[in-house]
A and B are shown apart, each in its own frame.
Chain A
């Protein structure tokens, strides 16, 4: 499973890095930075889905 973060949509609502700090962090302005490259470790799949489900800008997609 992969995470696709579309930075052109991100407006820094910060839901992703609050809910899944292992997968996302904030840059100096509050926009999201994706921390994993490639497949998401199995124990973080739920966190990835939670982040996607709470992004108001639909900037996070999960590819299975």
Chain B
């Protein structure tokens, strides 16, 4: 059990179930009363909630190191500039080298290649989900029967491994996230459940039968004329699995949670499909799933408060996204918001490498859902029936919804 939080200004805990349940309210309260809050938990951690302060920290790689990006009792030390999962844990100048290696594989043109298979997978999931229910009045779990599987299947396609292996990596990711800092190879895990065993076989298969996918790309890539080491390839794939799956699942789930409660926005998406790209950005602003962290490299002032060397600082991009100083009607979800400089994918040199991919997946997931299921609602009007994950990735982990209307095929809508 977590220690109860005495006051969010002085004793906050982002891993507490109360934070999971009502984080947006907590950010709004703190922004008004104590914009750079502190807690002694985790060896000392700060929580800025203003857009300007979050952006300042993300842009200042001199005073803030990415050596640690997940706040835990264990604090990485002497790992800079590369860190344990480059480029996300890397600082300049090494960061740019590790990042540029990946960027071409995630460019908009490359990502567009994966859209048809993402669409096919969303349709197949909807078929399977709806096959189990009759028309009208039936309940499905949109988080575990739909949202959760889309990013797993897309990443399997991109890596060039069978989609059915999705469950294997979901298990691996959860184990890694639940024992942070221990890395990929953990003692006592049966061989067939380990990421290194799995990837070794996948890499051998790619070496024997070269393929035009992400593993094929990493095998061909050269750093200063040399092929990547096996450790580098494993580390990169592990980062993509960890950074790309729960994040996107959370974004899709939160978007469907919103639509389940907002008939006007459902109707707008059905009547005016051109609004979808704007809706996607507003989902990302309002329900941004990812909070990052930094370690203070050198004493520095943020928003009038002095942060000490080696303190943790959380970077709650979702809190920045709800700051009224940066957004008009920040507390309202505006489906066609025209001015939306949200920070869901971060800001500065660590801007999410998967942002084009995540946007494509969110677009496809909402579009295909709305074409097949234009009308639905929360199965239980009690907000506590939906559990949100605690910690630095926030999204609904279960999402029971009642299907009110379906179209026979995904082309039936419009």
Contact = CB atoms under 8 A, between A and B. Distances in A.
Interface of A: 11-14, 17-18, 26, 28-30, 50, 53-58
Contacts of B108: 14, 17-18, 26, 30
Contact of B348 (A11, A14, A17, A54): A11
B267 interface: no
B236 interface: no
Contacts of A28: 103-104, 107
Given A11-B348, A14-B355, A14-B356, A56 B107 contact: no
Nearest to A55: B341
B311 interface: no
Interface in B170-223: none
Contacts of B104: 28-29
A55 B281 CA distance: 12
Q: For the side of the interface on B, what is the size category?
A: 20 to 34
17 contacts: A11-B349, A11-B351, A12-B103, A14-B355, A18-B277, A26-B108, A28-B104, A29-B103, A30-B106, A30-B107, A30-B108, A30-B356, A54-B340, A54-B341, A55-B341, A56-B343, A56-B345
B394 interface: no
A50 to B, nearest CB: 7
Contacts of A26: 107-109
A44 B343 CA distance: 26
B351 A12 contact: yes
B103 A54 contact: no
Interface of B: 100, 103-104, 106-109, 277, 281, 338-343, 345, 347-349, 351, 355-356
A29 B107 contact: yes
Could you say which of A29, A54, A56, A57 has the most chain B C-beta atoms within 10 Å of its C-beta? A56
Nearest to B339: A53
A57 B107 CA distance: 18
Given A28-B107, A30-B108, 8 more contacts: A28-B104, A30-B107, A30-B356, A54-B341, A55-B341, A56-B341, A56-B343, A56-B345
B341 A53 contact: yes
A18 B276 CA distance: 13
